[in-house]
Structure 1
Amino acid sequence: MDDGTNIWSKSIWVIRQNSELFLAYCAVLPAIGILQEFLKQTSGNNFALVFTSVILAIPAHLSVLSNIRAFDAMRELQRKNPKYMIGFFFRTIALGVISVVPTFLLVVILSGIGWGKNVVVSTTILALVLLSAIVFAKWGTMLPAVLMQNDKTFSKAGRRGNISFSYAFPRLILSFGLLTIVQLVVALIAAIVLGAGGDYFPATGGFDFALLCTALLAAIIGGYQVIMTSVILSRAYLRAENIGANQNDPVPIETM
């Protein structure tokens, strides 16, 4: 169960608890990019990335929610509900779609009224971060609810969100916003310093290992982002359900 530490150190603790899966995630993300470039196909890219994130997010949630090892909890879940991962995956997709659709509409509207490309892009990114934080703060507790075999409907998640919104929203802004900025800046600096190109298999031949190193750095930050988001949502769930470290006391409010 939750121990009340801050979300940054708790995320590091979760990574240590699930180090094998975290390293696998960091390896798989560049591998997906390499494979798609090699096959010259991009279809299914988003689903592959979401599914890979789900594989990392589930044990991250369970590390916060359960007082047993995440792998043991996953085996128990598999025994009780073999389809739990499918439910988690499609609810993640649903929350993402709810966040993204209004953003697409915003792009259409701003482009239609003649806003410049750079302004449209920056406004859209800001809107996507805010909308994602709002949507996941409001309904994101349905994800840990799937793992806890609790009411995982939108209506129940919305009621939990009303209780935990002030906790989850500002922290999700950090996870979705700040960590995305850090990821982009680190990747850009690494690409410039290492001299990475735009393709793993450049037209001149060979393989761009500098681009691979850049992708690995981005994947490490992205994996931390998945872990932190899971920590935030699981803690929001625990607060809304009034479940603490001893399953009776409220979880203590941690500091940033």
Structure 2
Amino acid sequence: MENNRNIWSTSFRIMKKDVIYVLIYCATLVVFLMVQEKMETTSGGTIALTFASAILAIPAHFSVLSHLSTADAMRELHGKNPKYMNSFLFRTIVLGVISCAPILALTILLTGGGWGRTSLIAIAVLSLLLSAALVFAKWGTMLPAIIMQGDKTFAAAGRRGRTSFFYAFPRLLLSFGLMSIVQFAAVSASLTWLGAGEYFFPATGGFDFALLLGVTIGAAINAYQIIMSAVILSRSYLQAETAANSADLATFETT
């Protein structure tokens, strides 16, 4: 279990340990973008990207929560609950929708206020990062609860969130916010330096390897971001469960 190091080094250690899942995630993301370009459609994109993220997030949760190797822990959980992936995906999407809902309302409210397009995008992005950090800090422990076969309801996650919120929220701001800025800057700089085009398969023919390299750099940073978020949520779950067990024990000893 990875509980005694800071989130940066722990995330990097897990990234190295679970490198096969990182490679699968990066390859899945790149292939998805290529297929999307060829089909000229974005339908199903949210589901596909959430599934790709789960491929990486679930092993990261196991690395924090379980004494077993990642592969053994995943096999054990699959034996107990074959549909755990569906539960994980569904709750991740629900948390994402809750995070986006107030941003949509804010954008609609500001649209008629004379704000420029760039300003609206900047406000929406910053608000989304803040909203996501708030939502996942409050209810995000339902995701590691799935891994631990614990209570994964909103009510239970909310109770855990009251205990772990001030641990999770500032760290999720770093994970969602700072890492997103790093990813954007790194991808933009690499694409500019490499002279990449807009398409993997340009109209003039051939294949844009510079774009492939830039996208892969972005995928690798995004993989680290997903792992860091999983580390934060798993530690929040352990913190809240430890506090609850200690309170139960104290109550038992005084009765």
TM-score (structure 1 length as normaliser)? 0.93
Deviation at 1:204? 1.3
> Does 2:216 match 1:194?
no
Aligned length: 245
Deviates more, 1:170-179 or 1:12-21: 12-21
Structure 1 match to 2:73: 73
Structure 2 match to 1:226: 226
Structure 2 match to 1:86: 86
Deviation at 1:41? 2.5
Structure 2 CA distance for aligned equivalents of residues 119 and 42 of structure 1? 25
Structure 1 match to 2:169: 169
Runs of 4+ in 1 over 6 A off after TM superposition: none
Structure with the higher helix share, 1 or 2: 2
Q: Does the Cα contact within 8 Å between 2:3 and 2:235 map onto a contact in 1?
A: no
Structure 2 CA distance for aligned equivalents of residues 11 and 140 of structure 1? 18
One-letter amino acid of the counterpart of residue 98, structure 2: I
Alignment of 1:128-207 (within 5 A): 128-207=128-207
> Does 2:13 match 1:13?
yes
Structure 2 CA distance for aligned equivalents of residues 183 and 46 of structure 1? 19
Structure 2 CA distance for aligned equivalents of residues 211 and 105 of structure 1? 35
Structure 2 match to 1:242: 242
What SS class does the counterpart of residue 115 from structure 2 fall into?
Answer: coil
Structure 1 match to 2:31: 31
How large is the RMSD of aligned CA atoms in angstroms? 1.3
Residues 35-74 of structure 1: per-residue CA shift (max 9 Å, x gap): 1112223211121111000011001001000011111111
Residues 10-52 of structure 1: per-residue CA shift (max 9 Å, x gap): 0011112211111111122111101111222321112111100
Provide structure 1 residue ranges, at least 5 long, that are not aligned to the other structure: 249-256
Provide structure 2 residue ranges, at least 5 long, that are not aligned to the other structure: 247-255
Residues 197-249 of structure 1: per-residue CA shift (max 9 Å, x gap): 11111111111111100100000000000000000000000000018xxx99x
One-letter amino acid of the counterpart of residue 59, structure 2: P
Q: Does the Cα contact within 8 Å between 2:18 and 2:59 map onto a contact in 1?
A: yes
Structure 2 match to 1:251: none
Structure 2 match to 1:64: 64
Deviation at 1:121? 1.2
One-letter amino acid of the counterpart of residue 61, structure 1: H
Deviation at 1:123? 1.0
One-letter amino acid of the counterpart of residue 195, structure 2: G
Residues 150-181 of structure 1: per-residue CA shift (max 9 Å, x gap): 00000110010000000000000000000000
TM-score (structure 2 length as normaliser)? 0.93
What SS class does the counterpart of residue 3 from structure 1 fall into?
Answer: coil
Alignment of 1:95-106 (within 5 A): 95-106=95-106
Structure 2 match to 1:208: 208
